[in-house]
Structure 1
Amino acid sequence: MILKEFDKNKSAVINAFDIVKSIDGFPKIAVSCFSRVTFDRLVCELKGVKIASTCTANMEIPIYKVIYQGLEVALFMSYVGAAGCVAVMEDIFAMGVQKIIAFGTCGVLDLSIEDCSIIIPNRAIRDEGTSFHYAPPSDEIAVNVKYTDLFVNILEKNQLKYTVGKVWTTDGIYRETREKVNLRKSQECICVDMECSAVAALSQFRDKDIFHFFYAADNLDSEEWDARSLSNEANPLEKDRIATIAMELALVIGDK
């Protein structure tokens, strides 16, 4: 089986550092989100200055530097989908970042999880292809092995609701059938996303800290799919608040 062909050699034919060079004085911590609207608002509010860029095959991904309460932070928008997301993060690490905080939406598999509430994944089912190039074959992978307690403290201090649990990471957004949803629920998944298991595998393989959390969006735990706040334009102020929480975590772990 192709997905069992894991190679632990950290050097490949093409590496991020072959294309992206280290940048002197680059921030050691980065915050990233998947929503263009939220990202643009965050860059604007914090008066971000463009310091670099990377790219995928069909788009430029600018990277900004902001100062948040005295801490230098790089901001970039993550690519949607496991393969592109991980490749961009590889580039960011090659530039000099040591830690990344990433946040974005997820679909909920538990109707009781409220719209826009925080979800902290602790394990991920690997139903995508990228993670198998970064970690030996397995059904699941540990997520957020560091910093969860620190993040929970921030959430509780700000009186934000949160849930900790397992995520189902899948490439096939239009193949989340009712049977698969029910199966993943039976395997204790509370939400579904497209990148988390791959990001966790990258973190382990490169020995870099990545903290990845979600805010609840569309609901798959009902007879009919409910988009809720999945749209980038929905609940912008609440999503701005979530972005601020990510910056608060950066402030706490930036020097750790």
Structure 2
Amino acid sequence: MTDIEGRPPILTYKHFGSPSAFTPESLLREARRQKGLAEGSVPEACILDPDGDLVRRLKTEGRAAADPAWSCYHTELHRFVEAGIEFGIIGCAVGAPFAVLLAEQLFASGCRLLISMTSAGQLVAVRPPPYFVLIERALRDEGTSYHYAAPAEFSAIDDALMATLRGAFDDLRVPVLRGATWTTDAPFRETLEAIATMRAKELLAVEMEAAALYAFARARAKAVLCFAHVTNQMGRIEGDFEKGEADGTTDALGVIVAAARRLMEVPPAPGRAS
């Protein structure tokens, strides 16, 4: 079914300039009331960890503590300190709708910088996995972004954020590339034909959150940064999905800290590796 101009329903009746009747502040308020929680704020730097590897490692090491004031109905938020920076982190935030649901609530709760560190499948074989891609733009093959921004092929990172990050990862032991990705809502519909199309567009990897997070960030004027941790070739070779040391968490934390330090102007912590 289409409208009078031939557009599918997902592209119609969005009214991008109008405020939402349902707000994250209202949801959090009612959750606090029902759970008997005091109002609180989250750390200024927060992380979405779709695979949950970072959260599991931090909890196993006794370095992450659950935030008792986090009133989200669907998740737990943990706090931890890395290289002198306090972070809030939410694990298993998979997919565009869930990632943006949490982003809305985090920024309503005091977050100033949100970093998403998602695993991704390799499209263009620029080097053997694992490695990282700082996502400059993401193809909008999901539904959430179309509720925040008018139809367009890509969502993009804020130009000022990208400029500020120039050179931030040069001293890391793991490569951090820059480029575009394909954000999909349907990972098990990555057909050979679709993959060929995305490679022709020179997209480096496929993931599930960046296009929506960047559309949200633009619409709300929030600081959001998305990384793709390229760990696999979509299961098409034996021994795929190897992430590196400690399930890739050592290198992922290094990338996250380097970005947060630069964007929040935090000096290196004495005596602690970044």
TM-score bracket, normalised by the shorter chain, equals: 0.7 to 0.9
Count of paired positions: 249
Q: CA deviation at 1:28?
A: 1.6
Q: CA deviation at 1:153?
A: 2.5
Residues 185-234 of structure 1: per-residue CA shift (max 9 Å, x gap): 111211111111001001111111001101112215xxx813755368x6
Evaluate the alpha carbon distance shift between residue 190 and residue 131 of structure 1 in structure 2; reply closer, same or farther with a 3 A threshold: same
Q: Which residue of 2 aligns with 1:181?
A: 195
- With normalisation by structure 2, the TM-score equals 0.80
Q: Which amino acid aligns with 1:8?
A: F
| Structure 2 Cα separation of the partners of residues 160 and 136 of structure 1 | 36
Residue of structure 2 aligned with 1:226, choices 227, 233, 237: 237
| Structure 1 Cα separation of the partners of residues 181 and 139 of structure 2 | 6
Structure 1, 25-34 or 183-192: larger mean CA deviation: 25-34
Q: Which residue of 1 aligns with 2:3?
A: none
Q: CA deviation at 1:76?
A: 1.8
Residue of structure 1 aligned with 2:23, choices 11, 15, 29: 15
The answer to whether structure 1 residue 160 and structure 2 residue 171 are counterparts is no
Structure 1, 28-37 or 166-175: larger mean CA deviation: 28-37
RMSD value, Cα: 2.6
Q: Which amino acid aligns with 1:103?
A: M
What are structure 1's unaligned runs of at least 5 residues? none
Retained in 1: the 8 A contact 2:165–2:263? no
Retained in 2: the 8 A contact 1:104–1:214? yes
Q: Which residue of 2 aligns with 1:190?
A: 204
Q: CA deviation at 1:41?
A: 1.0
Q: Which residue of 2 aligns with 1:26?
A: 42
| Structure 2 Cα separation of the partners of residues 227 and 171 of structure 1 | 25
Secondary structure of 2:22's partner? coil
The answer to whether structure 1 residue 248 and structure 2 residue 258 are counterparts is yes
Evaluate the alpha carbon distance shift between residue 237 and residue 195 of structure 1 in structure 2; reply closer, same or farther with a 3 A threshold: closer
Evaluate the alpha carbon distance shift between residue 92 and residue 33 of structure 1 in structure 2; reply closer, same or farther with a 3 A threshold: same
Q: CA deviation at 1:37?
A: 2.7
Residues 33-73 of structure 1: per-residue CA shift (max 9 Å, x gap): 112232221355472222233546xxx41112223344332
| Structure 2 Cα separation of the partners of residues 47 and 89 of structure 1 | 23
Evaluate the alpha carbon distance shift between residue 216 and residue 69 of structure 1 in structure 2; reply closer, same or farther with a 3 A threshold: closer
Residue of structure 1 aligned with 2:109, choices 92, 95, 102: 95
Secondary structure of 1:153's partner? coil
Residue of structure 2 aligned with 1:141, choices 144, 149, 155: 155
